[in-house]
A and B are shown apart, each in its own frame.
Chain A
Amino acid sequence: MADAFKFELVSPERLLVSEQVTEVILPATLGEMTVLAKHAPTMTTIKAGVVTVKNAAGQVHKYVVFGGFADITPTACTLLAESAVPQAEADRSLFESRIEALRADISGAPTDEHRTRFEHMLADMTHLHNAVHPD
């Protein structure tokens, strides 16, 4: 039995999760990372993706997050997400409206730098959409 640590998933609107967990998989900007107890203190930004949480009772929950950042210490992991929903509640329209908005951003981007950033975000979002709704 792996050691448990405290995991919190917070969005600006509410505290979604606060529980003892053994394992969290985060979609960090530089690639997915798995956080276990006694992780070195780390701060990382999060891209749009799926967070997988395995709680102390061994249940696995998945949440879809749209950007944010995580603060990891040896005893806790706090994920501040701009927007987060349980995966079961993430329906197509949610992604479609975001993809739509990003497309609009790309066409209205003032500089190439902005455009590249939005294109990256769009790629992440499309990938996420396909991952959650494979068909």
Chain B
Amino acid sequence: MPSLKDLKNRIASVKATQKITKAMKMVAAAKLRRAQEAAEAARPYAERMDRVLASLSAAYKDSPEAPLLLSGTGRDQTHLLIVATGERGLAGGFNSSIVRLARDHALKLLAEGKTVKILTVGRKGNDVLRRTFRDNIIDYVTFREVKQLGFANASDVAQRVLSLYEAGEFDVATLFYARFASVISQVATAQQIIPAKFAETEVPAAAALYEYEPSEQEILEDLLPRNVALQIFRALLENNASFYGAQMSAMDSATRNAGDMINKLTLSYNRQRQAQITKELIEIISGAEAL
């Protein structure tokens, strides 16, 4: 049975923890809004890019001159997994759900006898994956120092991926990140970015009448690398929003748990104090009666 003083200390410490989690929740909520705005702002570009690429690539899909980024290398042997996670923890299952998805995917590929290479973006994923796939991790990018995630950061990652691809280091690249469904739900997602896949859309009749300057092929060759950077950028933004969403709900439940704990501790503190008062009273009364 803890003494009154012990209980008092514990209540104080849980209260201090609650203050911290509450503050973290509020910070996460503010950052979430900013992250969501950034993701929102990136949408128009992505939509237009998708539309143009979908119609261009539909025409080029089966042609032998299609750029490698679209048609692939024709092999399926070496896979590159780009795993984007957060830089920090304290966000519930955010990092672990992405890592789990990537790990399952990697193990499946390894079981099929394929070669797996991993590029980690973000410190947390790197730390965890390093334990299992020490030899598979070929590169590691961190945005720890980056305050506001910009397109340049994504471009930087894309440059690395593209130069690996040009050097024939892998055949298929898959990007792992958490899609932001809502504040309370983030879905770990795997998306293949090389060779590029586009939603099969009805090509509007007008598209056939387009003039291309320079040729269609050159435009496609110019756009596909940009698209890789764009997909990575989009994933990073989604990831960022998801991270703060996950952190916010994790901190919210931590605050609530701390509240419950404080209530319980206060109850037993009050009980014990009352018991002590009663005991003292009994002592005084029985002492008086004995006289």
Contacts and interface: CB of A to CB of B under 8 A. Distances in A.
A73 interface: yes
B214 A80 contact: no
B44 A73 contact: no
Nearest to B167: A110
Given A69-B222, A69-B223, A13 B214 contact: no
Contact of A43 (B46, B150, B219, B233): B219
Contacts of B166: 110
A12 B49 CA distance: 10
B206 A41 contact: yes
A11 to B, nearest CB: 7
A29 B151 CA distance: 22
Tell me the dominant secondary structure on chain B's binding face. helix
Contacts of A73: 206
Contacts of B211: 40-43
B41 to A, nearest CB: 4
Contact of A12 (B151, B218, B219, B223): B151
B12 interface: no
Nearest to B222: A45
Tell me the dominant secondary structure on chain A's binding face. strand
B213 A43 contact: yes
Interface residues of B, number: 32
A83 to B, nearest CB: 7
B212 A42 contact: yes
Contacts of B42: 12-14
Interface residues of A, number: 25
Contacts of B209: 40-41
Interface string B226-257: 10011001000000000000000000000000
Nearest to A15: B44
A10 B50 CA distance: 14
Contacts of B218: 45
B151 A45 contact: no
A80 B214 CA distance: 16
B210 A42 contact: yes
Given A10-B45, A15-B41, A69-B219, A30 B151 contact: no
A80 B49 contact: yes
B147 interface: no
A120 B52 CA distance: 26
Query: Taking each of B41, B52, B56, B213, which has the highest tally of chain A beta carbons within 10 Å of its own beta carbon?
Result: B213
Given A71-B52, A80-B48, A12 B213 contact: no
A12 B212 contact: no
Contacts of A30: 213-214
Contacts of B46: 12
Interface in A18-76: 28-30, 40-45, 68-69, 71, 73
A87 interface: no
Nearest to A105: B159
Contacts of B150: 13
Query: Taking each of A12, A13, A71, A78, which has the highest tally of chain B beta carbons within 10 Å of its own beta carbon?
Result: A12
A119 interface: no
A10 B44 contact: yes
Interface of B: 38, 41-42, 44-46, 48-49, 52, 56, 150-152, 154-155, 163, 166, 206, 209-214, 218-219, 222-223, 226, 229-230, 233
15 contacts: A11-B45, A12-B46, A12-B233, A15-B45, A29-B214, A40-B211, A43-B56, A43-B211, A43-B212, A44-B214, A45-B219, A69-B222, A82-B151, A83-B151, A83-B152
- Nearest 8 A/B pairs, CB to CB: A44-B213, A14-B41, A12-B151, A42-B211, A10-B45, A41-B210, A15-B44, A12-B45
Given A30-B214, A41-B211, 10 more contacts: A12-B45, A12-B154, A12-B229, A15-B41, A41-B209, A41-B210, A42-B210, A42-B213, A44-B219, A71-B48
